[in-house]
Structures are given as structure tokens and as C-alpha cells.
Structure 1
Amino acid sequence: MTVDAEHRLVRPGRHRRTIRTPLQTLWRDSLTVFWGDWLELRVRIPQVAASGLVSPLIYILAFGLGLGNAIDRVSTPSAGDSYLEFILPGMVALSSMVISFGGTTFSICGDRLFTKTFEEMLLYPVHPLALYLGKMMAGVVRGMLTAGSVILVAVVFTGQPGSFLHPLFLLLLVLNCAVFAGLGVIVGLNVKSLESVGLFNNFLIVPMSFLGGTFFDPASLPMVLKGIVYVLPLTYTTIGLRAAAYRPLAEFPWYSFPVLLAVAIALAAVGAYQFSHQQD
């Protein structure tokens, strides 16, 4: 066989190795967008990990240790051995929600309204969904860093590391971060000022913090209130985390995964559409 013939045989294989499927291209582009945020985020890991720790600690001390002692005298929690243990999974869910949403929203607002670097990102030759996924993944990392700090606190209080490092617990936590980071992306793309971010936080995140099942068992509510509480995605996260931490696998609410996944997919569709029509 001649050298030219061998060259012709090798070239097709070389070309096949460089061909990527649309999903591979989307994933690579998403990682590229994420990497830009990670370069900035990695130098602030201690700050990010501690930023969402104050509120959960206050709730743990005030409700778990303060009010919890009185509650434990008159009732038994539906999960965990004490009211403190009952609310700890909710505190993990709460911290991941607040930082995933807030960190992502303020990051995009800062790029849009102050540094004016957001327009450059819109010029990237990538699919709008990749822009959304990259920003969302950065929000997931922020949320998981803070949630990891709260998990450490929960392990210290309970002495049960296996409960808070259960695979279902961590998987549900990542999905919760994806939902609220995605919501943060959409809000960040639409607000016109930082004051508007405060409105979303006051009328969406703060009410959900108290109504998302973090301090009570949603199953004990009247039917009318259940209709409100079970609309909130944080409720499904809290229920799932609590079950993963304290209850047997047979009692795990598997419906939490498809509900949160459906919300995450819906937000991804809205976010991709928003990026494709963004005028900044």
C-alpha cells in the first residue's frame, strides 16, 4: 500500500474523532460560559460558603434550640428525634435557595448594569441554552458551597453525617440549586435595577423561606393551605431532604424529583428564550 493510500485511510478516522454531537457541543459551550464565572468565584470560596450561613444559624438557635425545647415537651416531630433535627434539612434547603437565587441574580445584574460586560457574552458563538446552563451551573456551585457549610453545622448538632450525606439528599439538593439558580438567571436578565432585585427577594424568596415546609410539616396543614404550600418548589425539596435524612427508603417521596426536574426544564426553556431575545 502506498503512502497516499495510507493517508487517505487515516484521514476519515481523524475527521470522525473531531465530530461532536449537538449535545456534546452544548455541554462544551455551557462549561465555557461556566468557566468564566468560576474564575471569579474560586477566589471567593470562603466568602461564598459563609455568606448564606448567618440566617440558618439564627433560625437554628432561635427556633431549633429556643422554641424547639418547648415544642419537644408537648409533641413529637414527624421526622427526627427533636424539633431541631426536624428543621435542619429545611435550613439546608433554605440556604441553598437563597444563595443560588441571590448570587446568580446579582452576578448577572452586575454584568448588565455596572461593568457592562454582559453584551460581550451575548456575542459568544454559542446556543442561548448554553448561556443559560453556564450561568445556572455557576449558581449551583454557589448554592452547594453554602449548603455544605450548613450541612457541617447540622452534622455538629446531630452527630449523624450519614443522614446529611445520603446520595438522595445530595442529588435533591443539587436539583434545588438548579431550580433557584435558573430562576435567578431569569430575574437577573429582566430587572432594571438592584432595587427591583429586592422586590423579588421580598415577595418571592422570603415568603417561600417560611412557607416552604422548613419549619412545619406540610402534611399537617388544612387542605386550602396545602394548595398554596405545595405550589412552591422549596416544599418538595424540604420534604425530600427530611425524608432522605431521617426516614427509611420506602417512605421517600419520589415525586419530589420529577416535580423539581419539571420546574428546572421549564426555567431552562424560558431562560434560553430570554437569552435569544436579550437586547442588552
Structure 2
Amino acid sequence: MLVKTNKSAEWRTLLADSLTIFWSDWLDLRVRIAQIAASGLISPLIYILAFGLGLGSSLPKPAVGDNYLEFILPGMVALSSMTISFGGTTFSICGDRLFTKSFEELLLVPIHPLALHVGKMLAGIVRGLMTSGAVILVAILFTGKVWSFINPLFLLLLVLNCAVFSGLGVIVGLNVRSLESVGLYNNFVIIPMSFLGATFFDPTTLPMALRVIVYLLPLTYTAIGLRAAAYLPLSEFPWYSIPILLVVAIALSLLGARQFASQQD
């Protein structure tokens, strides 16, 4: 009984410490809500106008959604949440490490390394939700399907996607030595994933070799899951996407906690 009580107290302490770290970032985020929401909206809007309304008008009806515009809208939500969750988290940690030099103070705080990672990850999740919320509003205006984009299953996948890429952003932010290095990660990881992560196409139509590569990307499971949550009945929902994203988020959290434990700067 005493062991269970101690374990429960440890988890409560971990949660409280994580929220404390998150709150320090939230104090900055709350005064920039409009800026953050708009920062990741430009690219999805360009893709929606160019591909959804432009190219999409000449394409046949897709397997999911009434037209190609509807098909790519869930992918645009996934794309915006990935970009801002990763980029915002990475640049925030880089700024503290490389410019303000305030990161050393954070490392001296006597709390568990996992709480440090989770707190930073929560801030990244909020950043991603702010931007993807703006894209969801655009999707609702284009389609008129309110419940398709705000149902619990859709929102759960969105939060998991933000957790995955904000967790990745924490790890990258702890390891890079300059802002130029952040650009390399963005060019070689985020941008390719933006186009290969099933945001613009149905991965089941690809040749097997390419399909294997696409299904190695976590964004793929978010895109196909959001599309199914928005337009398909529950019987056709790819339930495997939820545990896959959850496992990736947990693995990144453990890796991030290990990184925090050994961080020197």
C-alpha cells in the first residue's frame, strides 16, 4: 500500500512540475495567440487555393470526401499542426540556449527530466493547436461540415500529432548548435514529410516500395486518421493510427527526458 502511495505521489509531482514548466512558456504564448495562429496558416492556404481549388477541379472524385478540396483539408490540418509544433518548440529552446542564455537556469531546477520534456512538449502542443485551429476554421468555411472537424476522434488525433512533433522539436532544440542547423532539419525532415505524409494523396494507391516509405512517417497516420474521422463511419476508421502515434510520442518523451538528464548547456 505504501509503495502505491509513493508511486501516486511521484506521478502527481511529475504532473505538477510539467505544468509549471508549461506555465512559464504559456505566459509568453498567451500574448501572441493571434500571431501564432496566423504564422502557420499561410502555407496551408496556398496549398488549399493551388491544389484544392485550382488543380483539384480537374481531378476525379477521391476515395474519401466529395471532392479533392475536401480530401486535402484534413491533411492541411495535420500539416499546419506538424510545422508549428516542431518549429515553434525548436526555435523556443534554441533561443533560450543560444541567445538569451536562460536555458542553464532551467537545467538547474530540481525536477525530473521527464517533467522538463513534457512541459516543453505541452507548450508545443498548444502552439500546434492554435495554428491548426485556424486551419480547421478555414476548412469549416469551405465545406460547411462543422462536426467533421471538431469531433472527439479528430481532435484526439490532432493532439497526438502535436505531441509527436513538439516532442521531436524538443529533442532537436536540445541538440542543434545554431539556427542554420534547425534549417537543415526543416529541409530534410519536415518539408519532405509535408509532401510524403499522405497530405495530398491516398497512400494505398502507391507502389509497394513507396508505400513502405510513406507508412514509416508519423504524419501519414495523422493524415489518414483525420481524413477518416472527418468523412468516414467509425467502422472504417483506421484505429491503428492512434496507438502508433501514442507510442511514437511516448518514445520521443523518454528520449527527450534522457537528453535533458545529460544536457550540459
Normalised to the residue count of structure 1, the TM-score between the two structures is: 0.92
State the SS of the aligned residue for 2:109: coil
Q: Which amino acid aligns with 1:212?
A: G
Give the drift of 1:278: 0.1
2:54 is matched with which residue: 66, 72, 88? 66
Q: Which amino acid aligns with 2:50?
A: A
Percentage identity across paired residues of the two chains? 74
In the other structure, the counterpart of 2:179 is 194
In the other structure, the counterpart of 1:44 is 32
1:15-68 superposed Cα distances (whole Å, 9 cap, x missing partner): xx9x96111010000000000000011100000011000000000000000000
Q: 2 CA distance for matches of 1:151 and 1:157?
A: 10
Give the drift of 1:143: 0.1
1:108-119 to 2 correspondences below 5 Å: 108-119=93-104
* 1:25 and 2:13 matched: yes
State the SS of the aligned residue for 2:216: coil
In the other structure, the counterpart of 2:121 is 136
State the SS of the aligned residue for 1:21: helix
Q: Which amino acid aligns with 1:184?
A: G
1:155-170 to 2 correspondences below 5 Å: 155-170=140-155
Q: 2 CA distance for matches of 1:90 and 1:186?
A: 25
Q: Which amino acid aligns with 1:256?
A: S
In the other structure, the counterpart of 1:263 is 248
In the other structure, the counterpart of 1:35 is 23
State the SS of the aligned residue for 1:135: helix
Give the drift of 1:166: 1.0
Give the drift of 1:84: 0.2
State the SS of the aligned residue for 1:28: helix
Q: 2 CA distance for matches of 1:157 and 1:58?
A: 14
In the other structure, the counterpart of 2:134 is 149
In the other structure, the counterpart of 1:240 is 225
Q: Which amino acid aligns with 2:211?
A: K
* 1:275 and 2:263 matched: no
1:56-91 superposed Cα distances (whole Å, 9 cap, x missing partner): 0000000000000011xxx22011000000000000
1:97 is matched with which residue: 71, 78, 82? 82
* 1:228 and 2:217 matched: no
State the SS of the aligned residue for 1:116: coil
In the other structure, the counterpart of 1:127 is 112
Moved over 3 A (4+): none
1:80-120 superposed Cα distances (whole Å, 9 cap, x missing partner): 00000000000000000000000000000000000000000
Q: 2 CA distance for matches of 1:42 and 1:125?
A: 26
* 1:57 and 2:42 matched: no
How many pairs does the alignment contain? Answer: 261
State the SS of the aligned residue for 1:231: coil
1:233-256 superposed Cα distances (whole Å, 9 cap, x missing partner): 000000000000000010000000
Give the gaps of 5 or more residues in structure 2.
Answer: none
Q: 2 CA distance for matches of 1:81 and 1:274?
A: 46
State the SS of the aligned residue for 1:192: coil
1:185-209 superposed Cα distances (whole Å, 9 cap, x missing partner): 0000000000000000000000000
Q: 2 CA distance for matches of 1:278 and 1:173?
A: 30
RMSD: 1.3
